[in-house]
Amino acid sequence: MKPDKHRPVVGIFKFASCDGCQLSLLDCEDELIAVAGAVEIRYFPEASRNIGKGPFDVAFVEGSITTHHDADRIQQVRRQSRLLVAMGACATAGGIQALRNWQDSGEYVRLIYAKPDYISTLKTSTPVAEHVPVDYELRGCPVQKAHFLEMVCALLTGRRPQLPSASLCIECKRKGNTCVLVTLGEPCLGPATQAGCGALCPSVGRACYGCFGPHENANAPALAKRLREDGMSEADLQRAFRTFNAWAWQFRKASEEVEAR
Amino acid sequence: MNATPSAAGPPAPAGAAKIHVETIARVEGEGALHVRLKGGRIQDLRLEIPEPPRLFEAFLRGRRAEEAVDITARICGICPFAYQMSAAHAVERAWGIAIDPQVRALRRLFYCGEWIESHALHIYLLHAPDFLGYQDAFEMAAKLRPEVERALRLKKLGNTIMRVLGGREIHPVSVRVGGFYRVPTKSELAPLAEELKWALEASRQTALLVKTLPFPDFQQDYEFVALSHPDEYPLNEGRIVSSLGVDLDAAEFEDNFVEQHVRHSNALHSVVRERGSYLTGPLARFNLNYAKLPEVALETARACGLEPPVRNPFRSIVVRAVELVFACAEALRVIEQYEPPAAPCAPYERRAGTGMAATEAPRGLLYHRYTIDGTGLILASKIVPPTAQNLKRIEDDLWRYLPQVLSERWDAPVEEITWRAEQAIRNYDPCISCATHFLRVRVTHEE
C-alpha cells in the first residue's frame, strides 16, 4: 500500500436517488476493507460520521438534480474534484423521477403534498452531465459493483477504466440464453440497451427493461418498429422507453416519436 | 462534524446552544436535525428531511399495475424487496390472485435475505460504532477486525440469497405480480444451507456481543405497531396490530393511521388516529410476536435478557440481532422444505379494483395501496414507508432523551450531545431515501 498522503482522496455524494448505488459500494463485502485501505474515503456520509472537505481526486456522484439547492451543490462538487464519476441511472440519465419532465410537476406536487408551497423543487430531474462535465459514467439501476471496483483499480493504477459499451444482446449470446425477443416474442429492450448487468432479465426468461440505459449506437426507433410489429401498443411502447433511463436521449427521442404518432 | 456552538471559540457547554447536524451520517438518505437549547432546556427540535421529493405516487398514475413492482423498488435501494412485496401483494389482492404455497415460501426466504443483509449492515456498520465511540466501521475495523469481517460475511450471505432468487441484491429482477419469472431448483438453494448454518451461529454470537454494549437507561411508553400472523413471525402477511389494541386488515390501515402535517417539523408524520406517534420496526415486531419466534431465537433472546415488552429503543440493536437469528433459522427451514412450485407464476386477469397490502420491511411496516382501472392501469396509489411512520416517534424520543443527557451532565459539550442525538435517531435505522412524500424543509433559525 502506498503511503497515506499518496492515497487518492475519494468522495461519495448523493443527490435525488434511492441510495442503491452507494449501497452497492458497501455490498463489495470481500473488497470493502481493502478499498478503504487503498483510497482515502473522505466523504461518505452514508457510512461515516467523519465528514471531510475536498479537494477530491475522484467524486462518485449518485442521484439526479431536482432542486435549486442541488443544482448549486453539484457545481461545488465539480469544483472540488479532479475526476467526477456519475454513478447509476439517476446520475447518468435523471432516473425514474425524470418522468416528471413530461408532466406539470406542480400538479405532481399538489397531488402528493398537503401544502405544496413548502416544496421547493425544480420542474425537471436531470442527469449530472446537464449541469457539469462528467469524466466517466457507471451505468445501471443500480450500478454493477464490479464496475465500481474496476473504476477504483483504474484510478489506482492511472489507466482508463474498461467498461462495457456493446448492447445487452452480446451478453445474452455469451450466456447462451434463448432470445427473449425473437424466440419468446417478449418486448425486450436488450438490442438498444447497454451491456453490463450480465443479461439478468433474459436469464430469468424476462424481457430486458433497459435499466442500464441506451448503448452508444442504440437504434431505438428500429427497435420500436419491431416491437410494434410484434403487437405492442403505442402506450406500452412509450412506457417501455420511459422507465429508469427515460431522459437518456435515445430513449427519450424514441418515446417522443411514439407519443407523436 | 457539523455541530456549531452559538458562541465562537472553544467548545461551549450545551446549556445554551444551537445544534445543527446538517447531514446525519450512517443513515440511508439525507436528514438534518436542528435543536435549540436555552438554559439546558430544549426550545425547539426538528428532524428535517432535505431529501428531494421524487413524486413516485404521481408518476405511478397511468403505469401498468405490474410495473409498480419494479418502479417502487427504486424508492429504496436498501429494502427494494420490501417495496416489491408490498406492491405485488397489493395488486394480487386487487385482482384476487391466489399464491402457490411454495411461491409464498420462496418470498419468505427472499425477505429473510433482505433482513439478514439490512440488519447485519445496521448492527455492525451503522449502529455499533455509536456505542463504541468510532466514527465509522472502517475505523472500527482497525480494532475489531474479526467482528467487522463477521458482519461482512453475514451481509454477503443475505445478498447471496437475494442474488440466487432475484438475479441481483439491489432491485432484483425475478419478482412479479403472481409469483416469480423464474424459481430456483432445489440444487440451486442447497449450497446456501451450509453458509446459513454458520450464519445462525454467527447471529447468536452477534446478539451475545451487542447485549454487552453500554445502554443508556431510557424507557418509553410506546405504541408498538407490527404485522401479526397466527403461526409465524411476520414478514409478508398478517393483520396490523398494536400494543394498544389496534387489530385490523391492511385494507383498513388508512382509516386508523393518518399522516399529519406538523408545523414545527414541516414533515408528514404518521400517527394513530386520535392518539399520536407510534413505533414500527424490530422492537414492535419482537414485542408483539415474541411467542412466534423459533426456539433458537427465543433462546438467544433469553440469553440476552430480552423479554417483551422491550421499551428501551437503544436495545433495538439486540432485538435486531435476535431477528437475525430468526431470519437465518427461517431461511434454513424454507430451504430444507422447498419443492419447486408447479408454475413460477399464477395466471391472472386484470380488472378494476383497489388493493392494499402491508409487509415488514427490515425497518418496519410498509403500506401500499393501488387503485387500478379495468385495463390494468394505476389510477391512484399511496405508499407509507416505515421511516415516515417512525419520524414523529424519533422526534418524541429526542424531546425526552436530550434533557436526560443534559440532566446527567449539564455541561456536556455540544459535540457529545450531538452524537447522542444521532445515536438515538439511528436506533430506528431510518431510511430517509424512501422520501416518497417527505417534505422538503425550509430552515429558519430563531435567536
Residue of B nearest to A107 (CA): B58
What's the complex ipTM?
0.95
Inter-chain residue contact B2 with A51, CB threshold 8 Å? yes
Distance CA B355, CA B83 (A): 15
Minimal Cβ distance to A27: which of B139, B159, B422: B159
3-state SS class at B34: strand
Q: Which residues of A181-191 are buried (b: 16+ CB within 10 A; e: fewer)?
A: beeeebbbbbb
Q: Which residues pair with B358 in a beta bridge?
A: B367
Distance CA B261, CA B271 (A): 10
| d(CA B393, nearest CA chain A) in Å | 21
User: Which helix (H) or strand (E) segment is B391 a member of?
Assistant: helix B386-408
Mean pLDDT in residue range B33-46: 80
Domains in chain B: ranges and CATH: 56-221+227-389 (1.10.645.10)
Q: Does B433 touch chain A (CB under 8 A)?
A: yes
* In contact, B102 and B340? CB cutoff 8 Å: yes
Q: In what order do the strands lie in the sheet with B239-242?
A: B247-248, B239-242, B224-228, B279-280
Chain A residues whose beta carbon lies within 8 Å of the beta carbon of residue B139: 48, 50
* pLDDT value of position B24: 64
DSSP assignment, residue A246? T
Question: Strands, DSSP E only, in B87-191?
Answer: 175-176, 179-180
Mean pLDDT in residue range A21-27: 93
User: How would residue B23 be classed by pLDDT, with cut points 50, 70 and 90?
Assistant: low
Q: How many residues does chain A have?
A: 261
Whether B72 has a pLDDT exceeding 70, the answer reads: yes
* pLDDT value of position B3: 35
* pLDDT value of position B441: 26
Inter-chain residue contact A97 with B422, CB threshold 8 Å? no
The C-alpha cell that represents B31 in the structure block: 436528514
User: To the nearest 10°, the Cα dihedral for B22, B25, B30, B31?
Assistant: -60
CATH 3.30.870.10 fits A4-157, yes or no: no
Mean pLDDT in residue range B438-447: 29
CB within 8 Å of chain A, chain B residues 32-61: 50-59
User: How would residue B42 be classed by pLDDT, with cut points 50, 70 and 90?
Assistant: confident
Average pLDDT over chain B, rounded to an integer: 88
In 3D, which of B71, B233, B135 has the Cα closest to residue A36? B135
Distance CA B236, CA B111 (A): 8
Residue for cell digits 437465518? Answer: B328
* In contact, B157 and B114? CB cutoff 8 Å: no
Mean pLDDT in residue range B18-38: 70
Whether B261 has a pLDDT exceeding 80, the answer reads: no
What are the pLDDT digits (tens) for B121-163? Answer: 999 999 999 999 998 888 999 999 999 999 999 999 999 999 9
Distance CA B28, CA B53 (A): 15
* CB pairs < 8 Å spanning A and B: 196
**What are the residue boundaries of the structural domains of chain A, listed by start?**
4-157, 168-260
Inter-chain residue contact A33 with B148, CB threshold 8 Å? yes
What are the pLDDT digits (tens) for B224-242? Answer: 999 999 999 999 999 999 9
* In contact, A165 and A196? CB cutoff 8 Å: no
Which of A12, A19, A172 to mutate against chain B (most B CBs within 10 Å)?
Answer: A19
Whether B17 has a pLDDT exceeding 90, the answer reads: no
Inter-chain residue contact B53 with A112, CB threshold 8 Å? yes
CB atoms inside a 10 Å sphere around CB A154:
15
Whether A119 has a pLDDT exceeding 70, the answer reads: no
| d(CA B294, nearest CA chain A) in Å | 29
Question: Strands, DSSP E only, in B263-403?
Answer: 267-272, 279-280, 353-361, 364-372, 378-384
In which region does residue B170 sit, left (phi positive, over 0), alpha (psi from -120 to 50) or beta (all else)? beta
CB within 8 Å of chain B, chain A residues 65-124: 66-67, 69-70, 95-97, 99-100, 103, 105, 107-109, 111-115, 118-121
Global pTM? 0.93
CB atoms inside a 10 Å sphere around CB B164:
18
Longest Cα–Cα distance of chain A, Å, equals 61
* pLDDT value of position B29: 61
* In contact, A259 and A239? CB cutoff 8 Å: no
* pLDDT value of position B50: 66
* pLDDT value of position B35: 83
